[in-house]
Structure 1
């Protein structure tokens, strides 16, 4: 009888994606806050757009990381 084991290589890949997501989770709101505190500056709109994109990437990497971790545990 074969026991199911976690694929460590895929698990490490998922943890790396979650670490990227964690970094982006701090960077995105920081950029948005900087943009809103400097509304008179010419970089207001580009910083705001960049912050929103970074927040979207944080969500994307979080879902991909969780899916990869689940795949490492439950795939055949």
Structure 2
């Protein structure tokens, strides 16, 4: 979660470098993966809690 912004910041500090676009794209991919994994984890927790509530009410 912290790796993506760090890589993007590093890319913006070195705009004249030949690997600028590669590092920027890599940092952006890490940021997008972090957002997806955060969303997936939260949805798993919510799903687990809602199933637990349904099981308690059934009997």
TM bracket (short chain): 0.7 to 0.9
Could you say which residue in structure 2 is the equivalent of 1:37?
Answer: 13
Q: Name the structure with the higher helix share.
A: 2
Could you say which residue in structure 2 is the equivalent of 1:7?
Answer: none
Could you say which residue in structure 2 is the equivalent of 1:74?
Answer: 50
More relative contact order in 1 or in 2 (CA 8 Å, sep 6+)?
1
Task: Kindly report which structure 2 residues correspond to 1:19-58, keeping only aligned pairs within 5 A, or say none.
Answer: 25-58=1-34
TM-score by length of 2: 0.81
Could you say which residue in structure 1 is the equivalent of 2:57?
Answer: none
Q: Which runs of 5+ in 1 are unaligned?
A: 1-24
Larger radius of gyration: 2
TM-score by length of 1: 0.64
Runs of 4+ in structure 1 off by over 6 angstroms are none
Offset from partner CA, 1:15-54 (integer Å, 9 cap, x none)? xxxxxxxxxx200000000000011111100000011111
